[in-house]
């Protein structure tokens, strides 16, 4: 008989008791998973209920934006579990009715293995109700089902897309979760996930079977999906060079039979393929029409693939990926720097697991400056265990200032023109870096190399009119030292030294630069992060140089919320970075889900993480400069509001915006 726990207080006390057992079970069992190997079967079925023109512009949705309204995609994978929450997936066999065997609604892959015992269910998103650090966000009620099992209900204390509701069946004596059903919203998908957990040793921390029913809605498009994943499949496949596309093979290794609906989708696909083949054969009789239609099809397919979809190709030894040409994720705006857009290309070639070559160029354009930027690092990794690599980086930086040019002209031609209204101090910068890095000890890296800059004046005509050089070159050996005395449990300290040598490769600059930097990204339980950074830099030789620091610069190709916002100054003018012969800086940010913004009416539900900023820098030509900021991120955008001060006086305010929509798609 079902025995209800009477009274909220009694229920909460029992809830705490069973929750403590769940916490203890996870802690005692997590060490049992060590390099576990598994085979997983996954099946996705999609039903396009409503679609319009906008669907084809959503990443991973191009191939279902037209044609049939029902699709199926199956895959058989080999999974290597490093622990309960980190794993590598190698897809061995695939069978799909989606063109090119592409995946649609790629966030569904995360639903394959929710980490129910971890802080986050899906790789840094969705706070699990079964983790001790998240208990403040949930309310719990329990009912005794029998002497051996307990029914546990959980619901959020407030509505937010980072939280779920549902129930679980728990083994009362041990706290092992037998099964759970969770409802929530994840990255534009409303879902209901049912997880059946395994019961053997360390496998009890990972699912045995996971089923999800989801609905995606966006701008009039509506797509429903059913997704099933089965773990610990009995058939092992040998290692292969790539993924085999074969329905015949899938029919042999599939651990569970197809449903009647699955078979109907395959049958409709086969009929359509047969009809298209007959149409092609009939069309080929008219050679001219066939060539024209074929060219048109290739054109639109290529346009759709490369404009909307990332361009990807992979073999056993090599891979290439180009970000879509039209991609709002790489569009950003800030009050001080305007609108910027960028693209990424990623290429990799491996001789073996210890020797591989990567080329990862990034291109961008600043619309306010009307300036094209690029950086192209070519790296050969020869000893990954010791972080050993050699790298060549070619790129261009922000237009840089050389204040000594204007000062010299003012002294020599005091009554000529108002030099302050000219761009005589602005130069374009193209650079080449060649260096090698090696980890001498686990806590100590050494980087050695050279850097070569070629800076050309923007206003060449005026510079020539006043007999001033139109270009400057510098050649400098570089030494970098990185210290991690507490390994990954403490801050990283870095020292960078650069000394120019005149006469090498037409170098006409002489300078010496020192920089010191310390960074610590302290992760706090509950998806909270404390970012700390402090540093200083100075030039000890001031004979005709450009003030260009390595750790204190205007970022022309920013990386966004996760990589860039915490350690930079958002409102500081670009010219400020190149005017002082020293700097002393400090940056602090604190990030946490659901702090203040969560309580805002209507909007609070969608605020996933919030961040608070405090930054300051002392330069030789001005009073201390400070920035205070507040930011939040959600499924649509990341937004930061900043205010700056010089000394005690207000200096300005502005905002930073990056698009997050479909970032995980």
Residue 85: its pLDDT value, please?
Answer: 66
Beta-carbon contacts of residue 299 (< 8 Å; ≥ 6 apart): none
Over residues 229-270, the pLDDT tens digits come to 998 888 887 776 567 888 999 999 999 899 999 999 999 999
Residue 6: its pLDDT value, please?
Answer: 38
Residue 323: its pLDDT value, please?
Answer: 74
Backbone φ and ψ for 103, nearest 5 degrees, come out as -85, 145
Instruction: In whole angstroms, give the CA distance from residue 63 to residue 105.
Output: 11
Residue 492: its pLDDT value, please?
Answer: 94
Residue 445: its pLDDT value, please?
Answer: 96
Beta-carbon contacts of residue 312 (< 8 Å; ≥ 6 apart): 319, 320, 321, 322
Neighbours of 503 (CB within 10 A): 9
Q: What are all long-range contacts of 624-632, with beta carbons under 8 Å and residues at least 24 apart?
A: 625/569, 625/572, 625/576, 625/651, 627/569, 627/570, 627/571, 627/572, 629/570, 631/561, 631/565, 631/656, 632/597, 632/607, 632/608
Burial readout 144-161 (b: 16 or more C-beta within 10 A, e: otherwise): beeeeebbbbbebeeebb
Please report, rounded to a whole number, the percentage of residues in the chain having pLDDT higher than 70: 85
Instruction: In whole angstroms, give the CA distance from residue 507 to residue 285.
Output: 68
Q: What is the reported pTM?
A: 0.80
The parts of the chain modelled with pLDDT lower than 70 are 1-16, 30-35, 82-86, 240-242, 283-310, 325-329, 335, 403-407, 409, 414-423, 542-545, 556-567
Report in angstroms the alpha-carbon separations of 592 from 93, 134, 598: 40, 12, 11
The alpha-helical segments, DSSP class H, found in 92-222 are 108-111
Residue 30: its pLDDT value, please?
Answer: 65
Instruction: In whole angstroms, give the CA distance from residue 203 to residue 127.
Output: 21
Residue 345: its pLDDT value, please?
Answer: 86
Which has the closest alpha carbon to 611: 629, 631, 596, 628?
A: 631
Instruction: In whole angstroms, give the CA distance from residue 612 to residue 598.
Output: 15
Residue 561: its pLDDT value, please?
Answer: 56
The DSSP string of 300-318 is HHHHHHHHHSPEEEE-SSE
Q: Which two tokens stand for residue 190?
A: 């409303």
Report in angstroms the alpha-carbon separations of 294 from 29, 66, 82, 276, 300: 58, 18, 47, 13, 10
Half-sphere exposure of 37 (CA within 13 A, CB side): 8
Residue indicated by tokens 């207000």: 650
Share in percent of the chain as helix, strand, coil (round to 5): 25, 45, 30
Which has the closest alpha carbon to 87: 24, 29, 34?
A: 34
Over residues 437-474, the pLDDT tens digits come to 999 999 999 999 999 999 998 888 877 877 778 888 99
Instruction: In whole angstroms, give the CA distance from residue 173 to residue 346.
Output: 51
């Amino acid at each position: 008989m079902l025995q209800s726990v009477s009274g909220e207080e009694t229920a909460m006390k029992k809830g705490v008791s069973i929750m403590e057992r769940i916490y203890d079970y996870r802690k005692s069992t997590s060490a049992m998973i060590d390099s576990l190997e598994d085979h997983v079967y996954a099946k996705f079925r999609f039903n396009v209920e409503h679609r319009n023109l906008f669907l084809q512009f959503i990443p991973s949705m191009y191939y279902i934006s037209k044609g049939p309204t029902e699709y199926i995609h199956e895959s058989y994978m080999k999974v290597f579990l490093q622990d309960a929450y980190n794993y590598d997936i190698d897809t061995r066999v695939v069978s799909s009715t989606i063109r090119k065997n592409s995946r649609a609604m790629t966030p569904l892959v995360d639903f394959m293995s929710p980490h129910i015992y971890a802080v986050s269910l899906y790789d840094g998103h969705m706070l699990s109700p079964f983790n001790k650090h998240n208990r403040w966000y949930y309310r719990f009620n329990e009912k005794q089902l029998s002497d051996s099992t307990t029914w546990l209900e959980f619901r959020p204390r407030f509505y937010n897309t980072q939280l779920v509701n549902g129930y679980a069946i728990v083994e009362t004596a041990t706290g092992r979760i037998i099964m759970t059903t969770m409802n929530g919203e994840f990255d534009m998908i409303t879902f209901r996930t049912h997880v059946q957990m395994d019961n053997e040793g360390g496998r009890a921390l990972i699912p045995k079977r996971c089923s999800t029913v989801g609905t995606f809605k966006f701008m009039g498009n509506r797509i429903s999906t059913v997704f099933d994943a089965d773990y610990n499949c009995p058939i092992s496949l040998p290692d292969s060079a790539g993924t085999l596309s074969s329905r015949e093979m899938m029919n042999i290794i599939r651990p569970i039979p197809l449903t009647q609906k699955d078979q109907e989708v395959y049958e409709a696909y086969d009929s359509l393929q047969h009809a298209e083949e007959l149409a092609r054969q009939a069309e080929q009789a008219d050679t001219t029409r066939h060539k024209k239609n074929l060219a048109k099809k290739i054109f639109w397919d290529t346009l759709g693939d490369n404009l909307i979809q990332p361009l990807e190709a992979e073999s056993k030894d090599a891979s290439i990926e180009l970000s879509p040409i039209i991609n709002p994720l790489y569009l950003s705006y800030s009050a001080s720097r305007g609108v910027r857009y960028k693209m990424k290309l990623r290429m990799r070639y491996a001789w073996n697991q210890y020797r591989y070559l990567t080329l990862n160029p990034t291109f961008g354009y600043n619309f306010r400056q009307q300036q094209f930027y690029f950086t192209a690092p070519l790296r050969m990794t020869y000893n990954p265990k010791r972080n050993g690599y050699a790298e060549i980086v070619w790129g261009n930086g922000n237009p840089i200032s050389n204040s000594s040019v204007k000062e010299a002209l003012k002294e020599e031609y005091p009554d000529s023109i108002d030099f302050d209204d000219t761009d005589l101090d602005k130069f374009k910068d193209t650079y080449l870096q060649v260096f090698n890095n090696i980890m001498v000890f686990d806590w100590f890296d050494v980087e050695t190399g050279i850097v070569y800059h070629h800076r050309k004046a923007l206003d060449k005509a005026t510079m020539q009119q006043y007999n001033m050089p139109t270009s400057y070159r510098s050649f400098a050996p570089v030494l970098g030292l990185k210290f991690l005395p507490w390994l990954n449990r403490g801050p990283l300290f870095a020292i960078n030294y650069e000394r120019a040598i005149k006469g090498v490769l037409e170098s006409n600059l002489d300078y010496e630069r020192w920089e010191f930097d310390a960074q610590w990204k302290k992760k706090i339980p509950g998806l909270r992060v404390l970012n700390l950074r402090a540093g200083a830099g100075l030039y000890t030789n001031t004979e005709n140089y450009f003030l260009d620091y390595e750790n204190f610069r205007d970022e022309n190709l920013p990386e966004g919320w996760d990589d860039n916002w915490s350690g930079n100054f958002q409102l500081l003018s670009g010219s400020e970075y190149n005017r002082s012969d020293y700097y002393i800086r400090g940056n602090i940010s604190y990030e946490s889900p659901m702090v203040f913004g969560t309580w805002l009416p209507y909007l609070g539900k969608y605020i996933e993480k919030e961040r608070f900023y405090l930054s300051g820098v002392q330069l030789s030509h001005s009073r201390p400069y400070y920035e205070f900021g507040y930011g939040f991120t959600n499924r649509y955008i990341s937004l930061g509001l900043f205010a700056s001060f010089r000394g005690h006086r207000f200096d300005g305010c502005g905002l930073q915006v990056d698009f997050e929509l479909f970032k995980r798609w």
